[in-house]
Amino acid sequence: MLHQRCNRRHFLQNAALFSTSLVTSLAYARLTRASVQTVKNEAVDALVIGSGFGGAVAALRLGEAGIDTVVLERGRRWLITPEQDTFATFDKPDGRSTWLSQTTYYGTPIDVYTGVLEGLAEEDIIIYCGAGVGGGSLVYNAVTYQPARELFERVFSDSIDYEELDEVYYPRVRSILNPAPIPPDILATPYYDRTRLFLEQATTAGFPNRLYDIAVDWNIVREEIDGTKRPSAIIGNHWFGINSGAKNSLDRNYLAKAESTGFVEILPLHLATTITEVPGHGYQVLCRQINETGETVVEKSFTCRYLFLAAGSMGTSKLLVKAKATGTLPKLNDYVGKYWGTNGDIFSVLSNLPPVSGKGGPAAAVLEHFDNPLGPVVLEDILDPFGADGTTQLLGLAIPQPKGTFGYDAATDSVRLTWPGDPEIVSAIKLTYSIFNQKNPDIDITISDTSNALTAHPLGGAVLGKVCDEYGQVIGYPGLYVVDGALIPGSTACTNPSLTIAALAERCMDRITSDIS
């Protein structure tokens, strides 16, 4: 029998709009310890940390199983307003754009606020992560891209049955996200001339290329084009969120469905800081509730029977590495914090192009160079919001070696990632570009990141078969599960990770809910 829900969170009803998530810098923790309220422990059946692709899947399936569930999300909710002004824009950035920072990622000064996009400066690498109810789905390019079997099996070997994902779990995720390729009438508009040119050049170079599925409501994009919705997607304002509501982000599907079960409550602006085993009872999680400028207003603890880690590769890995180092989860094995990678992200700029000016987004097309002798590569057409006419930006994806490691620093009570880089994937992507350029000789290509030191697709740190079993349960800790990108050893096989993260989470949750219901 499930534990009964405790009387809880009544005090949150008045504080909900005032609260937000973690203070990442002590410079913004301006309240004194004496002014921070401490709330007694609260018991719940299941606790989910994070509301991105893994956490959203977990929340929905737990709710459908009738399991009382609380989701802790460090960021705030971002509801599309009738005025269509929910998010910051590139031309008028403000604190909504960036997580607790004095500048945007491109250096514009802003007020410190719990915005949607965080830039983490780790050891030799910068990582971008989403923050808010819906996690990375608020800021991603909405690419819903299934890996090819032969490449998937390079990454996962025999641990995961690709056919099962292909027949059951990838379709299940797509049925909720509702992705589709850009329709011909929209592709034909001036807003997407950049995408059309990329496809033409890829064909000229002899590479397979195509449109892929995007989790966007194309009817709303049509409304942007005809002027009845605020221009957002068609002018490339998607990394800070799409004000027209065109993006099918998780808060509008998986998480909305989870809350509608009546068994799931999402607590925005709550940052989990510590995990401890409570023998015979499950797990205790300490967290901080903060306001929208990063000040801690309440410190809380939750005890749960079942704990689901879905704070993204960075958040989940750091929680586990800290727990092992400080002894709150002493049975964690030595694989924790290892096998991390960048998904092969390499950014490049193409210039000296014909006078294309379209800023339409999100990304819509891909070139696939799977038979590259140095390793498989794809190039994706993505938007540079500041690119001049005659330029465009591409993102290269490859299969890196998962050589990143997390380490705990006792002096600062913090965890940092070290990434040695992967020159092999840089060489593979350079080869693809050289072939591309031979057949399109007038183009100038600048590879922006030859050190592989920038990624928006962090993966690994608590991988399947090492830290977790093949269904996400942490080895040695019944009731403790990982259901996000931390499960994946550094790559989703030359694709954007969101679809595979969600499909693996669906697979895990099928097994987990059958075991605990």
Query: Which residues are designated catalytic?
Result: 380, 457
Residue type for position 386: F
CA distance 283 to 261: 24
Question: Residue 384: exposed, middle, or buried by beta-carbon count in 10 A (0-12, 13-18, 19+)?
Answer: middle
DSSP 139-187: TS--EE-PPPHHHHHHHHTTSS-HHHIIIIIHHHHHHHH--BPPPHHHH
Q: Are 384 and 480 in contact (CB under 8 A)?
A: no
DSSP run (H or E) holding 220 = helix 218-226
CA distance 409 to 405: 13
* CB-based contacts of 162, cutoff 8 Å, min separation 6: 149, 152, 153, 156
Q: Are 389 and 357 in contact (CB under 8 A)?
A: yes
Find, among 46, 4, 130, the residue nearest to 309 by Cα: 46
Find, among 506, 498, 507, 491, the residue nearest to 214 by Cα: 498
Question: Residue 389: exposed, middle, or buried by beta-carbon count in 10 A (0-12, 13-18, 19+)?
Answer: exposed
Question: Between vectors from CA 471 to CA 278 and to CA 145, what angle results, nearest 5°?
Answer: 125
Task: State CA 111 to chain mean position distance.
Answer: 24
Find, among 123, 140, 121, 122, the residue nearest to 131 by Cα: 140
Compute φ and ψ for 180, nearest 5 degrees.
-160, 155
CA distance 228 to 114: 30
Question: Between vectors from CA 455 to CA 453 and to CA 461, what angle results, nearest 5°?
Answer: 95
Neighbouring C-beta atoms of residue 126, cutoff 10 Å: 15
Q: Are 298 and 292 in contact (CB under 8 A)?
A: no
Q: How do beta strands 480-482 and 42-49 pair?
A: unpaired
Residue type for position 163: E
